[in-house]
A and B are shown apart, each in its own frame.
Chain A
């Protein structure tokens, strides 16, 4: 099996972004996932988000671990550097990559097995550091490549294709991230591109750790009656709390919002996120109330979606450490070497 490159034919009338590129310029190889896989919809949403943001392809780094989700960076923005690492270890590689070059935009694509089982340690510690990255979890509750075992995100009572229902508590990526202090937390559904694309844009432009947990059904192993991660179940029970619109820097807010419906929030790069409050009781700046709300809706069987938490004030990893603004990998050697005279001086203390 090899990846097939898509033919690059674009219609002259296709819309162009601020770099003069069309969405075709942000595509990747042809997907080898199953027909109907939720992940392919997420890939399409990522392409749209990155295209509309006008990110230079070579300034985007696509990071992943192992699993169906982790294959997807090959399917978008083929002019970006990709790093398909080992199982559950994408966060550490991204941490190191970001340490070396803070100028790139980092998107990590992971799955529920990759992030909540084998890689749960790295997932939580990347959050603690407030690593500046967009962290996507394509969450389907099962292991696909090894043919349908439950993952740690499987809900109690969710039934597999064959065998017993799951009876262990699920690990919820959103509430885990909330408890650890992630600064941008969203949940969405692969089948809701309208909601997902602005959430991804906000996550890519957020300065700090941005989690986008996406229910992305596995059509082969977890899309049947009795599964809580199927298309049908998700469509029936998912619930928008706060949707957002992403407004790029220096662009005016054009949409007409009803009085009291919308709240603009300024981001660090000069862009604006307009919160469209679907549920007026929800406060996305309070960890405590967000946690309570999410727990209550979860207990009621609902899948809460939208931008669920936002903190634009907390410093990200480099700021917390006091590192220079220049990418460390670009600092010339002359500025890194203390020289022979200093070495001589230093050794006076070792006599």
Chain B
């Protein structure tokens, strides 16, 4: 196999051994050489000692999803050696630590085995068990630098930035790099037929994970109160918010905080705090994952009925129940859309990558305050915790937060009487007031039956009046939310419809299918309720492949319920084993369907 800038490297290590920094160094070096990269971390729900993998896809074409190939396996974990060897694509390479003899049973004739004595090299050069383990991981970066032709100067520059204040660490890391590099150059033909060459395709990009981007987005959106209960894979979102808030939100005059982050006792309390803060006029939010949504559901229904702006980031992980906390899925679509008992439905936003996590944060707050309702941003582990190459983030200085229909003291002073739940403008959205602003603004917030004037009721007509008005608001939401992204190829009657992190795999699949003369149109929904354009897209096609990452075709179900889409046209394509979806899956499924004679 020979190629340039199209290679997948998978590194098998043990968690807690510093391999994350080695892998980050490797990926960033390639990125700094101007070549697009995709990084995926497959890690256990564990602190130290279990197998972990990192996959770097070098993609000169700039695709965003993982590949189902493994061209070069770096097998540093004896526990998983056999499985790792089996994973290498035919014609690929496998690098292993040849300090110890390899079992003769583990053989494959269709791949090339590269043995490098990492442990021996590091034991000879470094003192102390911890340093030796850490440096062994840095040494494989050196070996790969030789085999792939990564510029050592780029690696050195990165180490200098990382360890700016610790010169000794720069030297020892560089020494380990050199050990691996020199050994590979001396013993193998470098570079491999599959290698990299500098490009200029990353200068306007950054590498960031979605949780960092979302946390940063919340700072830029003007969020002041965050409440949370730690849960994988959402924890790093609040970590990011705290970090950025500590940097940007400390009052220069007093040294005090312009923000408040509360670690709640559980998710029930976290959402209660968010609702209390929003009721009182702060932009507030909570990050969580599926189990948290289950726990928050009662309060989500409260916020829907009492009409309180509430922003929730659900970084989805594999369910049901505890499921696989460190694996990805899009399995909370239905539970978020209809969270809580009674007739409830909620606004959802679907970012597809870290860039959209950043830009959708202010949209989520704007929509929550404009619509006075919970808004849930459905990210997932793949987006939230993996490093993505995305275009540099821009901030539009003209942005003004939409705080929605909030009456000021002056407006209240001029009013005879204020009623909380009157639909004055016909858009289903009433006016609200904030406590402490004006005596005339006072009202009683309740989750019990209430009239449009805000009074408690058990009266049939008065109850129904409010519940029906919420449907008017639902239609207003439909018109305000971000529109789906739709792309037309050549004229044809088949399309792909997906959501969130399915985007990268589908876009790449469209290219690959086009090469086989299969041309599909494309629709990626960005919000729920669905805009009219989504219904029109489905109507225009004879068949629509609905690609999503859950077992039960939750997105497809929502399309049928919300916009009465013709279910006979909607062919589910479901990827739900916990690994991020790849284009090969989509291509294969589409070709299977075509072979069955369904369309295209």
A residues lining the B interface (CB < 8 Å): 1-3, 56-59, 61, 73-74, 78-86, 89, 91-101, 103-104, 121-122, 125, 129, 318, 321-325, 327-331, 333, 335-340, 342-344, 346-347, 350-351
> Which chain A residues border B458 with CB–CB below 8 Å?
1-2
Residues facing A in B196-234 (CB within 8 A) are 205-208, 216, 219-220, 222, 224-225, 227
**Nearest Cβ distance between residue A105 and chain B, in whole angstroms?**
10
Q: Which of B220-276 contact A (CB under 8 A)?
A: 220, 222, 224-225, 227, 244, 248-249, 251, 254-260, 262, 264-266, 268-276
B438 is an interface residue with CB less than 8 A from chain A: yes
A121 to B281, CA, bound (A): 26
Contact B276 A97 (CB under 8 A): yes
Chain A residues within an 8 Å CB radius of B444 = 73-74, 81-84
Q: A322 to B257, Cβ gap below 8 A?
A: yes
**Closest chain A residue to B265, Cβ basis:** A125
By a CB distance below 8 angstroms, the chain B residues around A83 are 276, 279, 444-445
Q: Mark B354-383, 1 if CB is under 8 A from A, else 0.
A: 000000000000000000000000000000
* Contact A325-B256, Cβ < 8 Å, known A86-B302, A337-B222: yes
CA distance A2 to B462 in the complex (A): 11
CA distance A329 to B256 in the complex (A): 15
- Which residue of the partner chain A has the closest CB to B387? A350
Instruction: Write out the residue numbers on chain B whose beta carbons fall within 8 Å of the beta carbon of A329.
Output: 224, 277, 280-282, 434
> CB-CB < 8 A to A2: which residues of B?
455-459
* B258 partner residues in chain A, CB cutoff 8 A: 324, 328, 331, 335-336
Q: Are B436 and A96 in contact (CB under 8 A)?
A: no
Say yes or no: B262 contacts A343, CB within 8 Å: no
* Closest chain B residue, CB of each to CB of A98: B276
Residues of A within 8 A of B436 (CB): 58-59, 61, 81, 101, 103-104, 327
CB of B583, distance to nearest CB on chain A (Å) = 26
Is the CB–CB distance between A350 and B264 below 8 Å?
A: no
Closest partner residue, chain B, to A88 (CB atom)? B268
Report whether B225 and A336 are in contact in the complex, using a CB–CB cutoff of 8 Å: no
A100 is contacted by which of B284, B395, B445 (Cβ under 8 Å)?
B284
| Interface status of B442 (Cβ within 8 A of chain A) | yes
> Residue B16 at the A interface, CB < 8 A?
no
Residues of B within 8 A of A344 (CB): 392
Look across to chain A and name the residue whose beta carbon is closest to the beta carbon of B254. A324
B480 interface hit (Cβ, 8 Å): no
Bound Cα distance A40, B541 (Å)? 66
Could you pull out 26 A-B pairs where Cβ atoms are within 8 angstroms?
A3-B455, A79-B442, A81-B443, A84-B447, A84-B448, A89-B268, A92-B268, A92-B269, A93-B273, A93-B275, A96-B225, A99-B277, A104-B280, A121-B266, A322-B255, A324-B257, A324-B258, A328-B224, A329-B224, A330-B281, A336-B219, A337-B219, A340-B396, A343-B394, A343-B395, A347-B392
Q: Which of B207, B257, B400, B445 contacts A351 (CB 8 A)?
A: B207
Task: Given A2-B456, A58-B437, decide whether A99 and B262 contact each other with a Cβ distance below 8 A.
Answer: yes
Please determine whether B248 and A342 come into contact, CB atoms closer than 8 angstroms: yes
Residue of B with least CB distance to A323: B257
Q: With A81-B442, A351-B32 known to touch, is A61 a contact of B448 (CB < 8 Å)?
A: no
A341 nearest CB neighbor, chain B only: B395
Q: How large is the interface on B (under 10, 10 to 19, 20 to 34, 35 or more residues)?
A: 35 or more
Q: Which residue of A lies closest to B443 (CB)?
A: A81
B293 to chain A, nearest CB (A): 16
Write out the residue numbers on chain A whose beta carbons fall within 8 Å of the beta carbon of B471. Answer: none
Cα-based distance from A206 to B494 in the complex (angstroms): 68
Contacts of A328 on B, CB cut-off 8 Å? Answer: 224-225, 258-260, 277, 282
A101 touches B257 (CB 8 A): no
Kindly list chain A residues whose C-beta atoms are within 8 Å of the C-beta of B448.
84
Bound CA span A23–B393, Å: 57
Contact between B276 and A100, CB atoms less than 8 A apart: yes
B108 at the A interface (CB under 8 A)? no
Query: When the two chains form the complex, which single residue of A78, A91, A100, A340 contacts B442, counting CB atoms closer than 8 Å?
Result: A78
Task: Check if A96 sits within 8 Å of B442, measured CB to CB.
Answer: no
Question: Could you tell me if A347 and B280 are in contact, using CB atoms closer than 8 angstroms?
Answer: no
What chain B residues lie within 8 Å of A339 (beta carbons)? 395, 397
Which chain B residues border A324 with CB–CB below 8 Å?
251, 254, 256-258
Which residues of chain A are within 8 angstroms of B28 by Cβ–Cβ distance? 351
A interface footprint on B459-502 (CB within 8 Å = 1, 0 otherwise): 10000000000000000000000000000000000000000000
Q: Is B401 an interface residue (CB 8 A)?
A: yes
Give 13 new A-B contacts, CB below 8 A, not counting A2-B455, A58-B439: A2-B459, A79-B439, A81-B445, A84-B446, A92-B264, A96-B284, A97-B435, A99-B284, A121-B266, A121-B269, A340-B394, A347-B392, A347-B393
Specify the chain B residue showing the minimal Cβ separation from A58.
B439
A322 near B225 (CB under 8 angstroms)?
A: no
State A248–B269 Cα separation when bound (angstroms): 35
Whether B277 lies near A97 (C-beta < 8 A) is yes
A318, B393: Cα distance in complex, Å: 33
Contact assessment for B401 and A89 in the assembled complex, using a CB-CB cutoff below 8 Å: no
The answer to whether B282 touches A99, judged by C-beta atoms less than 8 angstroms apart, is yes
Q: Is B31 an interface residue (CB 8 A)?
A: yes
Also in contact, A104 and B435, with CB within 8 A (given A81-B443, A328-B225, A339-B395): yes
B252 → A minimal CB distance (Å): 10
A80 surroundings in chain B (CB, below 8 A): 442
B82-117: CB near A (< 8 Å → 1, else 0) gives 000000000000000000000000000000000000
Do A93 and B272 touch (CB < 8 A)? yes
Give the distance in Å from the alpha carbon of A67 to the alpha carbon of B82 in the complex: 61
* CB of B254 to closest CB in A, whole Å: 6
Q: Which of B326-374 contact A (CB under 8 A)?
A: none
Contact A96 B435 (CB under 8 A): no
**A91 contact set on B, CB distance < 8 A:** 269, 272
**Bound-complex Cα distance A61 to B399 (A):** 32
Residue of A nearest to B438 (CB): A58
**B445 lies within 8 A of A82 (CB):** yes
Bound complex: CA of A323 vs CA of B262, how far in Å? 12
| Shortest CB distance A199–B (Å) | 25
Across-interface contacts of B244 in A (CB, < 8 A): 338
CA A84 to CA B220, docked complex, whole Å: 32
A351 to B269 Cα, complex, angstroms: 38
Q: In the complex, what residues of B have CB within 8 A of residue A59's CB?
A: 436
Determine whether the beta carbon of B276 is less than 8 Å from that of A93: yes
